Amino acid sequence: MNTPSRRAFLASSFAAFLAGRSTAGDPYAPFDRLMATFLVENKVPGAALAVARNGAIVYSRAFGYADRDACEVATPASLFRIASLSKPVTAVAILQLVEKGKLALDDKVLDRMPLKPLLALGAKVDERWKRITIRQCLQHTGGWDRNKSYDPIVKAWEIAKAFDMQPPVTPEHIVRYMMGQPLDFDPGARYAYSNLGYLILGRIIESITGQSYESYVKERVFAPIGISTAKLGRALLEHRAKNEVRYTDSRNGTGKCLYPPKLGETVPTVYGAMNLEAYEAHGGWIATAEEMAKFADAFHDPKRCPLLNAASIATMAARPAGNTEEAYYALGWLVRAAGTGLNHWHTGYIPGSEAILVRRFDGLSWCALFNTNDTPDRKSLSGRIDPLIHNAADAVNWG
Q: Which residues are catalytic?
A: 84
Distance CA 283, CA 195 (A): 8
Question: Is-contact 134 202, C-beta < 8 A?
Answer: no
Question: Is-contact 356 386, C-beta < 8 A?
Answer: yes
For residue 57, the cross-strand partners are 52
Helix (H) / strand (E) element for 53: namely: strand 46-53
What distances in angstroms separate CA 378 from CA 251, 262, 265, 303, one per listed residue?
A: 9, 30, 27, 42
Amino acid at 395: A
Distance CA 270, CA 254 (A): 8
Question: Is-contact 136 227, C-beta < 8 A?
Answer: no
Distance CA 393, CA 34 (A): 10
Question: Is-contact 50 375, C-beta < 8 A?
Answer: no
Q: Which residues contact 216 (CB under 8 A, 6 or more apart)?
A: 93, 205, 206, 209
The most distant pair of C-alpha atoms in the chain lies apart, rounded to whole Å, by: 74
For residue 241, the cross-strand partners are none
Question: Is-contact 26 34, C-beta < 8 A?
Answer: no
Question: Is-contact 176 115, C-beta < 8 A?
Answer: yes
For residue 5, the cross-strand partners are none
What distances in angstroms separate CA 52 from CA 58, 296, 297, 334, 357, one per listed residue?
A: 5, 8, 6, 19, 11
Half-sphere exposure of 295 (CA within 13 A, CB side): 34
Distance CA 192, CA 139 (A): 9
The helix/strand/coil state of 20 is coil
Question: Is-contact 14 64, C-beta < 8 A?
Answer: yes
What distances in angstroms separate CA 136 from CA 178, 186, 360, one per listed residue?
A: 16, 11, 25
How far, rounded to the nearest angstrom, does the alpha carbon of residue 29 sit from its chain's CA centroid?
A: 27
